[in-house]
Structure 1
Amino acid sequence: MRANKIQAIADNAYGTVLESGAVRFERLLPGPIERVWAYLVEGEKRATWFCGGDAEPRTGGKLDLFFMHSRITGERPPESARKMNDEGWLSGGTVTAFEPPHRFAFNWVGMGEPDSDIEFVLSQAGDKVRLVLTHRRLVTKDRMAIVSSGWHLHLGLLEDQLLGQTPRGFWSAHEALKAEYVERQRDVG
């Protein structure tokens, strides 16, 4: 019974496929909500768990996404990610919703064709903050698996930041988690 409960909790951390090309994640995080919001929209804080870069605080504003994974993990990356890890990689987009401290959404340009859409929604859940992340327009199963495993790991790093914990592994878990998301896609068709 205990093993089933632990597996159910672990399964809950996985993203859920909403429709073809869309994945949704839900997390309960330590608040307050304004603190979680700051980790989504402030480049220096966002850089500790996902990517840095400025975000114009308005719908229609410009968004820079600067990825440098050496800032979020001390683990050695695979060769395919070495340049991004060591030198960084800049992409960006447009803010499509900016409703502090509840909704932040953007169109992500440069991650693949077509551009994709990301939405974060925050709400109070007792003494916690419910974060719901939806990523849409992921047109291939490979893109879906890469993005899903990436968000899974990045959201874990966000939780670590909010809890003041040592960040968990990123590269050490990435390939196995990507394979798990590939397998989960087979299960849903």
Structure 2
Amino acid sequence: MQAATSKEYGEVLESGAVRFERLLPGPIERVWAYLTEGEKRATWFCGGETEPRSGGRIELFFKHSQITDEPPPESHRKMNDEGALMSGTVTLWEPPHRLAFNWQGMGDPDSDVEIELAQAGDKVRLVLTHRRLATKSRMANVSSGWHLHLGLLEDQLTGAKPRGFWSIHDALKAEYEDRQRDAPL
């Protein structure tokens, strides 16, 4: 596994909340498109339609064979090959600066995601906060997932070859479990 820099790791903000920050190549409208347009979002995270308004529906169609050519572990083969649809409600829509949504599905209690974009010179600062993560296991899983997906977003925006996903996932999740061992829940 390629060593991540400490600033790539999500930080625990409060009970059940983790925050990530990335500096990405702009312009801000391009980054916004990769967050909100299903076809672009499918290249680094998950596809699906987003109704462009507060109160709108957001679909999260996870099909990891679209983001990596690495073979999945058997436990994730169906999602990797066939896909899994989750959904939520857009709770904040302020293009191109703020997007928030309630995330439903995965057999876990609902959680909330907020993404903020701000111009930082010729770069775009992305701050992603995921709240209401009900268990330490869920927090470690979500943290490792966002860590990997945000790396893939950076690869898309820079034109780099997409980094590994499945080859890193389990080790990174274990690392987050260790890092977040004393986090409040």
Alignment TM-score, normalising by the size of structure 2: 0.96
**2:108 aligned partner, one-letter code:** E
Question: Residue 178 of structure 1 corresponds to which residue in structure 2?
Answer: 173
Question: Residue 9 of structure 2 corresponds to which residue in structure 1?
Answer: 14
CA drift of 1:187 comes to 4.8
For residues 45-97 of structure 1, what are the alpha-carbon distances to aligned partners after superposition, in whole Å with 9 as ceiling and x for unaligned? 00000000000000000111100000000000000100000000001010001
Q: Structure 2 vs 1, CA of residues 40 and 75 (structure 1 numbering), >3 Å: closer, same or farther?
A: same
Show structure 1 runs of 5+ residues with no match: 1-6
**1:106 aligned partner, one-letter code:** F
Question: Residue 79 of structure 1 corresponds to which residue in structure 2?
Answer: 74
Show structure 2 runs of 5+ residues with no match: none
Question: Residue 89 of structure 1 corresponds to which residue in structure 2?
Answer: 84
CA drift of 1:111 comes to 2.7
2 CA distance for matches of 1:140 and 1:159?
28
Question: Residue 108 of structure 1 corresponds to which residue in structure 2?
Answer: 103
2 CA distance for matches of 1:155 and 1:112?
23
Q: Secondary structure at the match of 1:109?
A: strand
Question: Residue 154 of structure 2 corresponds to which residue in structure 1?
Answer: 159
- Is residue 120 from structure 1 mapped to residue 121 from structure 2 by the alignment? no
* Contact 2:34 2:41 survives alignment (8 Å): yes
Question: Residue 145 of structure 2 corresponds to which residue in structure 1?
Answer: 150
More helix by share: 1
CA drift of 1:188 comes to 4.3
Please provide the CA RMSD for this pair.
1.2
Q: Secondary structure at the match of 1:115?
A: strand
1 CA distance for matches of 2:95 and 2:17?
24
Question: Residue 29 of structure 2 corresponds to which residue in structure 1?
Answer: 34
2 CA distance for matches of 1:89 and 1:141?
23
* Contact 2:15 2:183 survives alignment (8 Å): no
**1:131 aligned partner, one-letter code:** L
2:40 to 45, 52, 68: 45
* Contact 2:9 2:20 survives alignment (8 Å): yes
**1:186 aligned partner, one-letter code:** R
2 CA distance for matches of 1:105 and 1:50?
16
Q: Secondary structure at the match of 1:64?
A: strand
Q: Give the paired residue count.
A: 182
Q: Which has the higher contact order (CA 8 A, sep 6+)?
A: 2
**2:113 aligned partner, one-letter code:** I
**2:67 aligned partner, one-letter code:** I
